[in-house]
């Protein structure tokens, strides 16, 4: 997946910090809209979402980006909701452009949460993002379009991938979602480890050690399925609640990590052991799923956690997108 990754056993180098050790067998991605922190941790890629962009846009350091987005959108002559929508799109791309100046790889830019069940709307939004990046000289190879892992979102990704637009399937909580994304040949999936843990903690009334963490187990299963059945879609664990979850997934294709947890990894020199590998995954007992729309919807419905967390995630991202819109309106 990533030929630049050194697969030497990290545990033999006790002087290296855990972040550097992890980078030897996993592509590290920064999960942030605050690109000023990127140089410190030197990730390969970076991801954003509406919540992160909302937080960053309100920081004084990024006031000029908000002002530029407003000025550029006004040139179109749009007014009202149409103007706010254009400003939000430009703001996401402007943050993406700044991030790309700080990382050598790719940036993920998220489509509107309220389009999660609208295949044509998602296609239009993705193509607009690619066009805006292109106008700024950024090739589509450096962009990942983030789309919620609904049936409609996966169908949009299938079309986009055929057009050469790479997709990052987000809000993913189950194997059926992961399998459908792989069948659509999505470039990358982002299973949400921490949010899965949150649901199980609330139901069980107890915490889980990292090795038995339900979110970690979900990513292990998905990773094993992809490697066993030859899917090229990359697995990127996301939404971590603690460093232990990250270390249990060392060896995953990619991991997107918050600045706080990147800092914890960088401050420790404890050895990091590779936990996931293609060779071991191919020997797993995971069985192949046959999926069509009916089976996908039924299996997702039967998984209460995945159903609830997907819906909740869409609502929360939409709420933050609306907050961002209201914040922009105050700046007009």
Beta carbons within 8 Å of 96's beta carbon, 6+ residues apart = 48, 107, 109, 133, 138, 143
Over the stretch 56-72, which tens digit does the pLDDT of each residue have?
A: 999 999 999 999 999 99
Alpha-carbon separation of residue 263 from 152, 176, 258 (angstroms):
37, 34, 9
Q: Give the residues across from 107 on adjacent strands.
A: 46, 143
Assign 332 a pLDDT band (cuts: 50, 70, 90). Answer: confident
4 vs 51: which has the higher pLDDT: 51
**What is the mean pLDDT of the segment spanning 295-318?**
98
| Residue range 141-188, pLDDT digits in tens | 999 999 999 999 999 999 999 999 999 999 999 999 999 999 999 999
- For 244-296, how does the pLDDT look when each residue is reduced to its tens digit (9 = 90+)? 999 999 999 999 999 999 999 999 999 999 999 999 999 999 999 999 999 99
Residues spanned by the domain of 264: 20-331
| Nearest CA-CA partner of 132 in 78, 87, 83 | 87
Which distant-in-sequence residues (6+ apart) come within 8 Å of 30 by Cβ? 37, 38, 41, 43, 45, 46, 47, 103, 256, 257, 259, 262
- For residue 70, tell me if it sits in a domain: yes
- Reported as a single tens digit per residue, the pLDDT across 180-199 is 999 999 999 999 999 999 99
CB 284 within 8 A of CB 228: yes
Catalytic-labelled residue, pool 23, 63, 68, 146:
146
Per-residue burial over 149-170, b = 16 or more CB atoms within 10 Å of its CB, e = otherwise: bbebbbbbbbbbbeeebbbbbb
Residue reference for tokens 């030497």: 8
- 144 part of a folded domain: yes
Which pTM was predicted? 0.92
> How far apart (Å, rounded) are the C-alpha atoms in residues 99 and 30?
10
The count of structural domains within the chain is 1
Output the CA torsion sign for 220, 176, 184, 193: negative
**151 to each of 156, 220, 294, how far by Cα in Å?**
9, 23, 10
Q: Is 108 helix (H, G, I), strand (E, B) or coil?
A: strand
201 is catalytic: no
Whether 77 is covered by a domain: the verdict is yes
Q: What residues have CB less than 8 Å from 234, skipping those under 6 apart?
A: 1, 187, 188, 189, 253, 254
Classify residue 230 as left (phi > 0), alpha (psi -120 to 50) or beta: left
Domain assignment present for residue 216? The answer is: yes
Give me the CATH number covering residue 49: 3.20.20.70
Instruction: Please check whether residue 137 lies inside any domain of the structure.
Output: yes
Q: Would 9 be classed as within a structural domain?
A: no
Is residue 123 one of the residues assigned to a domain? yes
Residue 2 forms part of a structural domain: no
- Are 52 and 32 in contact by the 8 Å Cβ rule? The answer is yes
């Amino acid at each position: 997946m990533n030929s630049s990754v050194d697969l030497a056993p990290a545990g033999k180098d006790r002087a290296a910090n855990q972040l550097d050790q992890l980078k030897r067998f996993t592509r590290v991605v920064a999960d942030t809209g605050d690109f000023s922190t990127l140089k410190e941790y030197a990730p390969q890629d970076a991801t954003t979402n509406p919540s992160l962009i909302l937080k960053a846009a309100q920081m004084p350091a990024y006031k000029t980006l908000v002002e530029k987005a407003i000025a550029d959108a006004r040139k179109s002559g749009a007014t009202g909701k149409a103007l706010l929508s254009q400003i939000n799109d430009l703001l996401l791309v402007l943050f993406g452009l700044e991030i790309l100046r700080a990382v050598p790889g790719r940036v993920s830019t998220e489509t509107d949460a309220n389009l999660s069940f609208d295949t044509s709307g998602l296609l239009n939004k993705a193509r607009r993002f690619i066009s805006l990046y292109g106008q700024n000289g950024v090739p589509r190879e450096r962009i990942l379009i983030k789309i919620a892992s609904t049936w409609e979102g996966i169908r949009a990704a299938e079309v986009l991938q055929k057009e050469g637009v790479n997709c990052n399937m987000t809000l993913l909580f189950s194997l059926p979602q992961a399998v459908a994304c792989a069948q659509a040949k999505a470039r990358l999936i982002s299973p949400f480890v921490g949010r899965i843990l949150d649901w199980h903690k609330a139901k069980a009334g107890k915490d889980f050690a990292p090795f038995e963490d339900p979110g970690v187990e979900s990513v292990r299963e998905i990773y094993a399925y992809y490697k066993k059945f030859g899917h090229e879609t990359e697995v990127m664990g996301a939404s971590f609640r603690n460093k232990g979850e990250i270390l249990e997934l060392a060896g995953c294709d990619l991991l997107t990590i918050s600045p706080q947890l990147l800092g914890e990894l960088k401050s420790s020199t404890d050895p990091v052991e590779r936990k996931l590998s293609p060779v071991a995954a191919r020997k797993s007992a995971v069985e192949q799923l046959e999926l069509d729309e009916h089976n996908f919807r039924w299996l997702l419905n039967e998984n209460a956690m995945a159903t609830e967390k997907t819906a909740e995630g869409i609502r929360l991202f939409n709420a933050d997108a609306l907050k961002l819109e209201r914040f922009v309106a105050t700046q007009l």
